[in-house]
Structure 1
């Protein structure tokens, strides 16, 4: 009965959408470095390619987030998934194109690489996917819409679990499928199919969460113009209308919301550290550790499996006893220690580091998202999430580019840099905690990250 009730709950469709999206994305992570090298690239090209998605997401996420406040979360999620589906088709197109050399380069900074036509098409695919990649911020805004103060932590913990489940199955599937006769093509084909399924699920299972937007989904999408119909119900108080008017001013207005600058700083630093990890780990696995795609897939799947356990039953219990601030602080400490251990070539130490990383991420990130979701009001939550996503995208862009370049010269030291970034976050939060104690009691947790 409990499972049946969960499947019928209002939160299940968005968890399913998030799971499907992450599954499609994570399938490619273990094999992308091998694809790039096979097509003429190197660590530098891999870093630049990885940066294309967050760079264009940095541009597109606030646009889609703000659009979701106006026309509804459901419509924007469909737009985003359609963009992802087209991007995967472009990715597959690269495998049927001839490996025509466009240019070659060999410098101390870039290393030696060859830019081929298929590699350029993959760049275009990642650019297109990034620009329409506001699905994460919109999904978080959707979850914020349907959550209350009582169940917000639990809901974002479940969202984290759905993300981790996708990351468990995705890399594991990639390792198995890439070893077949079709090689890397089969995982990419499955990613495209999964993206198409996500579009169908959003259109058929997801109900509009923004109560002040008319949902025309049940009537069918008869035209492009009808799809972008912007019509609001008269459901705002006078004060809320003033907030909506203010929110239309953009990023500067969002920064005036209490607590947002602090949260965005943590958002940026967290993504910067993790982007160094995601840039360095595949290169590290492919070169120094000499791992196969299957071994890297198993390593990432193990990490996500730990996070499922942490973000599910463990976080649900801890959130009743600990504040979001406390969970974020403990999580950042675990992450700092784990990153400092990742430079080892000992397999046991690497898996211990992976365990600590997964526990830390499982405690920190859902708790952080719950804080962000409780900031501001529903009428601007799409923009808050969108600009937050942009902060993460900008940090990812910097980290992936730097990670690809720096690994060529300092190798695993980039993990140490990531560890010090999380140490900086820990110190930053402790200082903020001390300052918060000197502020008036009426300042809420969402405003001072406590």
Structure 2
């Protein structure tokens, strides 16, 4: 954090903590949400389909709301968006904890999609306060914070779920509320007023945000790699809990411990190795190697049933996490300071397109492969499909140019605002 101004260092620490707590809250819910859905619908097959529906609709809300929240953070600053998001997450988890039927559980999940912008805005915050040469390492630290949250979240969620399936949602809501209160005390604003820009509906919609990316072709390629990689990632929340129970015979506790083990390796890779690897071989090589590790990991997940092979595969799979830090570092150096929130909202909106489709696709594949009469060996098909998708991202990454070799991207012109266009 050598390049961070002294008055912003408490904010950096809060960003790491808020990412950690948000991921811990999410991790608490992961082992129990599909099982809670199953209590409403009655079978693994039906729960697989509904889990896909839940996650697809969550992705749709992200697609619509991410560019709005990103543009709002460019207009009003990062601090108010992050704090409101944390308060909204507390409300979401409360609704899910109290849900008496599938519809209320879905409403809570949709509100979660609307308000879970703190991670997106956190990336913009880090971009505001760090120098270009430091960003890959800083984003690696955020990845480590993700991992720390998942170390504690799934393991605790699995254990709390044994007591009551709704208890993890209560704890997740409490963590989000505490996070908001903590941020209100310590989080300084990172975006200077002279770097802010007017809010415009032309920017703050999915189509406008994607056009913003299209104006810088190198950014669009990187955003598409993020989108394709994110598509593959959705196989884990959409199917892993049910797959591990169906094919491997794991309980919620064992699933939580496996996720925690993965998170330990994520901390090691992203918190310790990512910055070193990027400095040694550059962002592009880090991106390519990380994607290839993900392909190998998914193939192993879908093929092997021995828990010892899973333990060996997880360190390889965790190296996939280096790709996000490399992508963020490459993208944020290609746009101006006043557009970082718009960039993050646009990228998240584009990634949300995959979030709309992927959970339903992978959930449907698992649903088909777990029907009566289908051999259990075919239940790994969703992971093989994810490996094929990630291979596409790998091939796209081969055409990426390192930041040092890339020509500077012209500043994206600000849109012309018309009188009828709402601004504030």
Matches within 5 A, 1:356-375: 356-361=316-321, 363-375=322-334
Change (3 A) 1:15 1:177: same
Q: Over residues 6-45 of structure 1, what are the superposed CA-to-partner deviations in whole Å (9 max), with x where a residue is unaligned?
A: 9955521111111111111111001111111112252101
- Verify the 8 A CA contact 1:17 1:201 in the aligned structure 2: no
In structure 2, what is the Cα distance between the partners aligned to 1:178 and 1:132? Answer: 24
For residues 160 and 372 of structure 1, the distance between their equivalents in structure 2, rounded to whole angstroms, comes to: 16
2:36–2:165 Cα contact (<8 Å) kept: yes
For residues 90-169 of structure 1, the aligned pairs below 5 Å read 90-94=95-99, 97=100, 118-169=101-152
After superposition, the C-alpha distances for 1:44-94 in whole angstroms (9 at most, x for unaligned) are 011111222221111111100001000111111122122211111111111
Q: Among residues 277, 280, 284, which one is paired with 1:321 in the alignment?
A: 280
TM-score normalised according to structure 1 size? 0.81
User: Who is 2:15 aligned against?
Assistant: 14
Q: 1:300 to 1:328 in 2, by over 3 A?
A: same
Aligned residue number for residue 70 of structure 1? 75
Match of 1:289 among 240, 248, 269: 248
Q: How many residues align?
A: 390
CA RMSD of aligned residues (A): 2.8
Contact between 2:144 and 2:271, CA under 8 Å: does it hold in 1? yes
Counterpart of 2:391 in 1: which secondary structure?
A: helix
Whether 1:89 aligns to 2:70 is no
TM-score when normalising by structure 2 = 0.86
Task: Tell me the distance in 1 between the aligned counterparts of 2:8 and 2:218.
Answer: 34
- In the alignment, what sits opposite 2:183? 202
Q: CA–CA distance in 2 between the matches of 1:391 and 1:442?
A: 23
Secondary structure of the corresponding residue to residue 128 of structure 1: helix
After superposition, the Cα gap between the structure-2 partners of 1:279 and 1:446, relative to the gap in structure 1 and judged at 3 Å, is farther
Indicate how the Cα distance of structure 1 residues 441 and 279 shifts in structure 2: closer, same or farther if over 3 A, else same.
closer
With over 3 angstroms needed to count, the CA separation of the structure-2 counterparts of 1:386 and 1:426, relative to structure 1, is: same
Deviation at 1:392, TM superposition (A): 1.6
Range that drifts further, 164-173 or 372-381:
372-381
CA deviation after TM superposition for structure 1 residue 258, in Å: 4.4
The C-alpha deviation readout for 1:365-400, integer Å capped at 9, x for no partner, is 222222222220111110110011112221022110
SS of 1:30's equivalent in the other structure is: coil
Deviations 1:299-343 (A, max 9, x none): 111111101001112122222212111100000111111111111
Unaligned 5+ residue runs, structure 1?
98-117, 213-234
**In the aligned structure 1, how far is the partner of 2:278 from the partner of 2:112?**
35
Structure with bigger gyration radius: 1
- Seen in structure 2, the aligned counterparts of structure 1 residues 194 and 336 have a Cα distance that, compared at 3 Å, is same
Contact (CA 8 Å) 2:129, 2:190: kept in 1 or not? yes
TM-fit CA distance, 1:131: 1.5
